């Protein structure tokens, strides 16, 4: 668990941590970069939107191994990242990101998060926002597929 | 992040180093827009060879620079993209929108 305070200057520190963690867990370098990008964008959103750039507000990050629940993919692990903040409730309709057809600045952060992660879940409980991000390690699922085929 | 500026003929070159993220992307945006809108540079090269990371606010700053240059009829060129910078532009479907060259020589000759 990592507790930090809302400050754009801390983003690079967290990126360094997440990139090394994902590499240690065995993610390929491109996926390590995309997971790092997703966490960076999620933190930026908390600083910018949840806390409206107010410095010194608490953000808690939890990292733990994720395991798939489906039987045929048993043992397939990954990384689960939980981000907690105590900003105001977020309107779920604003949690979709935007389409990319139009060339314009802004709105890309959520798109990057969704592109990078297998699971993106937002919830709120007791005045706390929780963002759950999960990325599984990609492994061949031939056995699983062949069992279904047979 | 650091930005240094060079001028060659009718070209302005910004050499950027470090990460471009929410903490500093506004600085990139300001520098680029000032050069395009106030200095009326006909050709602006953004050298990203020493940039390891660009976040969505950094991409937004690049898009603003591109739009401003198009509005004023100047050229906005990116050079020396790292793998990470290339990935983020590809992910944003912007890789073919920007004018991109491997290095300064190619960009100056274009």
pLDDT in tens, B65-83: 999 999 999 999 999 999 8
Q: What is the pTM of this model?
A: 0.86
Examine the pLDDT at B2 and tell me if it is beyond 90. yes
Model ipTM value: 0.88
Chain A residue with minimum CA distance to B18: A12
Tell me if chain A has a CB within 8 Å of the CB of B2. Answer: no
The pLDDT of residue B78 is: 97
- Distance of alpha carbon B61 from alpha carbon B39, whole angstroms: 18
Provide the mean pLDDT of chain B: 94
Q: Predicted confidence band at A150 (pLDDT cuts at 50, 70, 90)?
A: very low
The domain in which residue A62 lies consists of 2-149
Examine the pLDDT at B5 and tell me if it is beyond 70. yes
Mutation for A interface: B22, B58, B92, most A CBs within 10 A: B22
The pLDDT of residue A148 is: 39
Those residues with Cβ within 8 angstroms of residue B15's Cβ, 6 or more apart along the chain or in another chain: B3, B4, B5, B6, B47, B49, B50
pLDDT in tens, B36-47: 998 899 999 999
Average pLDDT, stretch A16-43?
95
Count of the separate structural domains present in chain A:
1
Chain A residue with minimum CA distance to B93: A100
Question: Of A101-105, A118-122, A130-134, B31-35, where does mean pLDDT reach its minimum?
Answer: A101-105
Examine the pLDDT at A144 and tell me if it is beyond 60. no
Tell me if chain B has a CB within 8 Å of the CB of A109. Answer: yes
Q: What is the CATH number of the domain that holds A72?
A: 3.30.565.10
Q: Predicted confidence band at A91 (pLDDT cuts at 50, 70, 90)?
A: confident
Examine the pLDDT at B55 and tell me if it is beyond 50. yes
Cross-chain residue pair A105–B94, CB shorter than 8 Å: no
Tell me if chain B has a CB within 8 Å of the CB of A15. Answer: yes
Q: How many CB atoms lie within 10 A of CB A70?
A: 9
Question: Of A91-100, A104-113, B22-31, where does mean pLDDT reach its minimum?
Answer: A91-100
In chain B, the domains with their CATH numbers are 2-105 (3.30.750.24)
Apex A110 CA angle, A108 and A112, nearest 5: 70
pLDDT in tens, A49-82: 999 999 999 999 999 998 876 655 555 689 999 9
């Amino acid at each position: 668990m990592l507790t930090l305070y809302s400050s754009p200057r801390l983003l690079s520190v967290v990126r360094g941590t997440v990139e090394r963690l994902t590499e240690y867990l065995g993610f390929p370098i491109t996926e390590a970069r995309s997971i790092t990008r997703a966490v960076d964008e999620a933190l930026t959103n908390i600083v910018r939107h949840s806390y409206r750039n107010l410095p010194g507000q608490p953000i808690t990050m939890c990292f733990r191994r994720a395991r798939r629940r489906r039987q045929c993919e048993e043992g397939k692990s990954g990384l689960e990242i939980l981000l907690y903040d105590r900003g105001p409730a977020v309107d779920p309709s604003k949690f979709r990101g935007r389409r990319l057809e139009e060339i314009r600045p802004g709105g890309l952060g959520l798109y990057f998060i969704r592109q990078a992660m297998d699971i993106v879940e937002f919830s709120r409980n007791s005045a706390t926002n929780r963002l759950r991000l999960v990325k599984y390690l990609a492994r061949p699922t031939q056995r699983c597929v062949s069992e279904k085929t047979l | 992040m650091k930005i240094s500026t060079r001028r060659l003929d009718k070209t302005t070159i910004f050499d950027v180093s470090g990460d471009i993220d929410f903490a500093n992307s506004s600085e990139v945006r300001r520098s680029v827009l000032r050069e395009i809108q106030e200095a009326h540079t006909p050709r602006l090269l953004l050298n990203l060879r020493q940039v390891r990371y660009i976040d969505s606010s950094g991409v937004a700053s690049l898009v603003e620079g591109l739009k401003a240059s198009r509005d004023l009829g100047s050229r906005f060129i990116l050079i020396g993209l790292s793998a990470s910078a290339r990935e983020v532009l590809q992910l944003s479907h912007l890789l073919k929108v920007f004018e991109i060259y491997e290095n300064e020589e190619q960009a100056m000759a274009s």
